[in-house]
Amino acid sequence: MRSFSLVKTNVGLTTNIKISVDSNYNLYLDSIESTSDLAHDKYKKYIINKTSLYDEKLPSFYDGLNTDVAFAVKYDNDNNIMFNTFDNQLDDLYISGAKDITDNKNYAEDFEYFAPLYLSKTGLPKYFAIFRIDGPGLTTVTKDNFNSEIINKLKCVKMFDLTPNSDLGQWLYNNVTNNPNFPATGFEIDHRRLQFSYWNGIDYNNGNYTKKSYFFDDVLDYENTFHNLFYLMIHQQHLLL
Residues 17 and 117 in one domain: yes
| Structural domains in the chain (count) | 3
Residues 171 and 83 in one domain: yes
pLDDT in tens, 10-57: 888 889 999 999 999 999 999 999 999 999 999 999 999 999 999 999
Question: Is 96 in contact with 115 (CB distance < 8 Å)?
Answer: yes
Residue 182 lies in a domain: no
Residues 56 and 172 in one domain: yes
Count other C-beta atoms under 10 Å from residue 25's C-beta.
15
Residues 23 and 94 in one domain: yes
Q: How confident is the model at residue 165 (pLDDT cuts 50, 70, 90)?
A: very high
DSSP 71: T
How far is residue 22's CA from residue 116's CA, in Å, rounded to a whole number?
16
Question: Is 60 in contact with 52 (CB distance < 8 Å)?
Answer: no
How far is residue 166's CA from residue 179's CA, in Å, rounded to a whole number?
18
Q: C-alpha dihedral over 104, 105, 107, 108, to 10 degrees?
A: 100
pLDDT in tens, 124-135: 999 999 999 988
Q: Which of 48, 56, 51 is nearest to 27 (CA)?
A: 48
pLDDT in tens, 53-109: 999 999 999 998 998 899 888 877 766 777 777 666 677 889 999 888 866 778 888
Residues 110 and 46 in one domain: yes
202 class by beta-carbon count within 10 Å (0-12 exposed, 13-18 middle, 19+ buried) = buried
Residues 171 and 62 in one domain: yes
How far is residue 197's CA from residue 231's CA, in Å, rounded to a whole number?
16
Question: Is 219 in contact with 236 (CB distance < 8 Å)?
Answer: no
Question: What integer is the mean pLDDT of 223-240?
Answer: 65
Residue 82 lies in a domain: yes
Instruction: Please determine, for residue 217, whether its predicted confidence score (pLDDT) is greater than 60.
Output: yes
**The dihedral of CA 38, 42, 45, 46: what is its sign?**
negative
Instruction: Please determine, for residue 235, whether its predicted confidence score (pLDDT) is greater than 60.
Output: no
Q: What is the extent of the structural domain holding 216?
A: 187-240
Which pLDDT belongs to residue 37?
A: 94
